[in-house]
Amino acid sequence: MVYSLNFIQFQNENIMISNNLINKTVVITGASSGVGLAAAEAFAQEGCNLVLAARGKEALENAVEICQTLGAFAVGIPTDVSDFKDVEHLTEEALKISGTIDVWVNNAGVMATGRYEETPIEVIDQVIKTNLLGYMHGARSILPIFKKQKYGVLINNISIGGWMPAPYGTAYSASKYGIRGMTECLQGEVSDEPDIHICGLYPSIQKSTGNMHSAKYSGLDFKIPPTASDPKKIASAMVEMAKNPQKSKFTDFSSLMMKGMYSIMPKPLINTTSAALRLLMKEDSETDTDGNILTPSKNPMRIYGETMLTPTKKSKNLLITGLGIAALIFISRQLRPKA
């Protein structure tokens, strides 16, 4: 596949221009929904050439269309980041655009919550493969390109889960701690390459579709709090990181606060939050779901997800029914003969 671009090439493509991402090639994994889709939109608005990756072809095509509507050049490459051959193919296709890759965003991730012993082993394995190995595959594929170019920015969207465990998210926590370790180790490896940057982002829980797509076991079906962070905020942080790389960044105050609290009183914090989730667990498993762990994410494929205050279809129907009954009572009273 060869891509035809209608833009003027910079005379020297080997020089990263600070604060200017126009025509830079950016690869984003997990770009079909949630934070990944928000990132795709944010980089599209910067005039970047986007290479979007995700497992679901239809949702990926929709993300590409959104970016093209914003005026950006964008292509979608169906990719399972847990398969290194897929990631190599993604890299090869991205290089066909201009011969370089300027920014790579490791973002694809999945989550499973519930008692560890009640979580299927194939789900546990896939969480590690997608989250940890997926990021390692991305880094392994792009670093040789960066070293050949003598520049490049790798952004790892790690989450606060890289600093404190997610209650009843054992596999997820293991993967995030691992990504943080990989990031910090690679920062040492490229310390002699002044224009190659390995960056770690540590956001708190997001008001994205991530929780809606996640796997849930032990009857644990919870909604994210309305105070969760805006996915577009971390997308903006990614763009800023691409322009002005930093080794690490906490993208919101709550993530920084949680890191501080956990460093001061780790046991009380994890025990208290775990106890709170236990209250939400049910004996039956009717709500259990494998989510998007073993198969591509399903609808809704958008940036924002449901929160505790988001009205569901059922609640909307109940509200409409209630209003209808109230209206009938009001009308009947008005029509009742007066004494």
Catalytic center residues: 172
How far is it, in rounded angstroms, from Cα 50 to Cα 53?
Answer: 10
Tell me the residue ranges of DSSP E strands in the chain. Answer: 25-29, 49-54, 73-78, 103-106, 112-113, 152-157, 196-201, 215-216, 248-249
What homologous superfamily does CATH list for 25-309? NAD(P)-binding Rossmann-like Domain (3.40.50.720)
Contact between 247 and 198 (Cβ < 8 Å): yes
Where does the pLDDT of residue 87 fall: very low under 50, low under 70, confident under 90, or very high at 90 and above?
very high
CA distance 64 to 248: 29
Listed by start position, the domains of the chain span: 25-309
pTM, full prediction: 0.86
d(CA 10, CA 274): 53
Continuous segment of H or E residues that includes residue 242:
helix 231-243
User: Can you give the three-state secondary structure of the chain, one letter per residue?
Assistant: CCCCCCCCCCCCCCCCCCCCCCCCEEEEECCCCHHHHHHHHHHHCCCCEEEEEECCHHHHHHHHHHHHHCCCEEEEEECCCCCHHHHHHHHHHHHHHHCCCCEEEECCCCCEECCHHHCCHHHHHHHHHHHHHHHHHHHHHHHHHHHHHCCEEEEEECCHHHCCCCCCCHHHHHHHHHHHHHHHHHHHHCCCCCCEEEEEECCCCECECHHHHCEECCCCCCCECCCCECHHHHHHHHHHHHHCCCCEECCCHHHHHHHHHHHHCHHHHHHHHHHHHHHHCCCCCCCCECCCCCCCCCCCCCCECCECCCCCHHHHHHHHHHHHHHHHHHHHHHHCCCC
Q: With contact defined as beta carbons under 8 Å apart, do 62 and 52 qualify? A: no
pLDDT at 47: 97
**Phi, psi of 142, deg, nearest 5:** -90, -30
Instruction: Calculate the average pLDDT of the chain.
Output: 88
Please give the backbone phi and psi of residue 60, each rounded to the nearest 5 degrees, phi first. -65, -40
Mind listing the pLDDT tens digit for each residue in 278-308?
998 887 667 799 999 999 999 999 999 988 8
Q: Is a pLDDT exceeding 90 seen at residue 232? A: yes
Nearest partner of 167 among 122, 111, 208, judged by Cα: 111
How far is residue 329's CA from residue 317's CA, in Å, rounded to a whole number?
Answer: 18
Percent of the chain with pLDDT over 70: 85
Which DSSP string do the residues of 148-197 spell out, in sequence order? HHT-EEEEEE--GGGTSPPTT-HHHHHHHHHHHHHHHHHHHHTTT-TTEE
Instruction: Inform me whether the pLDDT recorded for 315 exceeds 60.
Output: no
The model's pLDDT over 47-86, given as tens digits with 9 standing for 90+, comes to 999 999 999 999 999 999 999 999 999 999 999 999 999 9
326 pLDDT above the threshold of 60:
no
DSSP type of residue 295: S
Is residue 121's pLDDT more than 80?
yes
pLDDT at 317: 45
Residue 314 banded pLDDT, cuts 50, 70, 90: very low
Is 297 in contact with 30 (CB distance < 8 Å)?
Answer: no
